[in-house]
Structures are given as structure tokens and as C-alpha cells.
Amino acid sequence: MADTESLLETPLAGLHREIGGRMVGFAGYAMPVQYPAGIIAEHQACRAGAALFDVSHMGQAELRGEGAAAALERVTPAEIQALKPGRQRYALLMNESGGIIDDFMVANLGDRLFLVVNASRKAMDFQEIGAALPAGVSIVPRPDRALLALQGPGAEAMLAPLAEGNVAAMPFMGVLESPVAGVPALITRSGYTGEDGFEIGIPAEGAEKVARALLAAGASPAGLGARDSLRLEAGLPLYGQDIDETTSPVEAALTFSLGKRRRIAWDFRGAERVREELDSGPKRLRVGILPDGRQPARAHTEIALGGSTIGEVTSGGFGPSLNAPVAMGYVARAHAGDGTALELMVRGRAIPARIAPTPFVPHRYKRTAGASA
């Protein structure tokens, strides 16, 4: 308990404690891992209605100046220059050897780009990006801002009456600047649960007002525990567990984030390794894994086949929506096919499992504005 004293707090720390959040240390912040409802109930509330997560620990920054998009392409293989105003994209921050420094979201706000990066990596990210920028382009961290994630099929109906702008018309990965509960907000239709939903960036001093309005509208508070089980069922990697500076975008099955133009020009950091792996195949691949039975296989569980080690689980736990254990990890490419039977070595016993396509729970993003998903 004593070590939580040295942790940073988000602007919602008081609210978390008031509603019974169980605070734990995460990436240097005191964050709620769960509330009294518990992880399974919070997870299910997100799949059935809407859950509210405080993700203010994440790094937020603006990229300003003429040529900001081209400048950002120096450190990411994503297509940034063609990202339209009012649109957001998932991107990877690469190192020279083709590993992943971080994964992040980038939105085009017309006169500037807006980045959201992982809490555990933000200092390094801002340093890396800043060092790569030409004169006239600057990165401006925004630690003065909070970030809320409202996720679930009920999110639109809860947010719409509180937002001045038309959030219902936003497509998946759309961006809208609009007040929410009277607080100026940067809203994106995105998230980390596989569900439809929004991330709402607001000034720190307005965070509690917006959070209380969303809770009053019926959102269930949800903590890091449910966030992890939701993203795992959705097949979404977690930086530091499933991807890191040694994993490439090809190994991590994140090639969708490489821009087409970039894959012709090969003008990004680490392009040599990415190109080689796309041509010849990577040594290992990130795959989904479904263990038989009910026993979870956690991160660092050995994956075996016929008595030989073929890989390692990088994230594993229990999927409340599947009512079964779920995992992801890396296996040698020869054994990465869907349906491949393998064994997970848990406490000295071999648990039968099979490779399965992700997401384990289908994504329900709002692909077209105005259409029912």
C-alpha cells in the first residue's frame, strides 16, 4: 500500500476513490483495477451497455507546424500525409532495427496532428518523435488533458444527448471537436475493447464533470482489469506484453498499419527488416490461442508441440464473454496456422490448446456513418 504514495494521480483520482475503485500502480499512476462490481461485471457491462474507463494516464501530445505529417512519417510506417482532417489512425513508432517502440493513435485536427500514446512509453515516445522533427515542426505534450473511454453498444446513446456536435454521425475512427457536458472535448470514435465507443479528451479540470455526466447517463465504471480482458478477447495487443522493441510489425501481425505508399517507398525506420520478413516470412508470428477447459494460461507460459518449445504466451487470462480462457502469444511460423493443436505448459502440466483466429469476440465498430452496425 505504501508504494502507491509515490504514484501519480489522474484528475479523476478522487472520483475513483469515492465510487470504490481499487487503486493499483500502473505505469507510474494510481489507477483503478476494478470497482465493487468486479472485473467480470464491468467487462459484461461494456459488451452489453457502456463502460467508462479513465485513461488519463496515457500520453497526449500535439504535433504542430508545416509538414507535421511528413515529419511523423520519419518514425512511423503508417500513411500520415493522406490522413484526412477529422480522421484518426493506428500507427507504430519504430526503431532502426524494425522493432516497435510504441503503438499509438494519430488524429488529423486540420491545423495539427493529435497523438495518444501508451502511458508507460510516453516520455520515450515524445523524445524519439521530437528528435526526428525538422525545424518548424514541434511536439507539444499535453499533460494538462484528461482522457476518458466510453465503450460499448450503448455508448452513442449515452454520449449523444451530452454532446453539442453530432456524435451519432461519426464513423469508426472519426474525429470531432465538440463540447460534452459543456466542456470542450476532442472526441474520437475508437477504443480498445472491440466495441463501438468513443475516446473523449478534455481539459483536466473538466474531467470530473464529464465523467459524472456519463455515469449519470448510465455508463458503468470499469477499471484496468476489464480493459485487459476486453482487449484480449478483441485480439488487440498490449505494448510491453505482446509487442516491444524486439517484435516487428510483421511478427506482431500488425501489417495493416503499414501504409501502401510506404511499402512501395520503403522509406521508414526498420524498413529493411519489415521488407525481408514480408518477402521471406517472419520467424515467429503473434497468434490467438484458445486453451481447452477453464484453466487460464498467463503471460510467459511456454507453448510446446510434440515435446519441443515452439513459442510463448504473451497475454493470457479469462475471457468473460467467451466464459473460457483466452490467450495470445508468439509461435514459430511453421506452426502458426489456425486450428494447430499445441500444448501450454502450466505449472508442469500440458494443457491442450489450439491456435484460433482473432478477434475471439467479433469487433462491433461503427464502420459507416448513419448505418446500424
Partner 1 sequence: MSQTRFAESHEWVRLDGETAVVGISDHAQNALGDVVFVDLPEVGREVEAGESVAVVESVKAASDIYAPIAGTIAAVNAALVDNPGQVNSDPMGEGWFFTITPRDAGDIGKLMDADAYARHAEAGH
34 or 190: CB nearest partner 1 = 34
Q: How far is the CB of 353 from partner 1 (least distance, A)?
A: 14
Torsion, Cα 152 157 162 164, to 10 degrees, reads 110
33 or 160: CB nearest partner 1 = 33
Decide: 200 and 209 in contact? Cβ < 8 Å.
no
323 or 372: CB nearest partner 1 = 323
114 or 318: CB nearest partner 1 = 318
Decide: 331 and 287 in contact? Cβ < 8 Å.
yes
Q: How far is the CB of 198 from partner 1 (least distance, A)?
A: 25
CB atoms within 10 A of CB 183: 18
Q: How far is the CB of 230 from partner 1 (least distance, A)?
A: 11
2 or 264: CB nearest partner 1 = 2
1 or 135: CB nearest partner 1 = 1
Read off φ and ψ for residue 230, nearest 5 degrees: -70, -45
Residues forming the site for partner 1 (CB under 8 A): 1, 33-34, 38-40, 43, 225, 228-229, 294-296, 298, 317-318, 320, 325, 347
Q: How far is the CB of 161 from partner 1 (least distance, A)?
A: 32
Read off the C-alpha cell for 189.
Answer: 470514435
Instruction: Please list the residues that pair with 116 across neighbouring strands.
Output: 60, 105
Q: How far is the CB of 293 from partner 1 (least distance, A)?
A: 8
Q: How far is the CB of 237 from partner 1 (least distance, A)?
A: 18
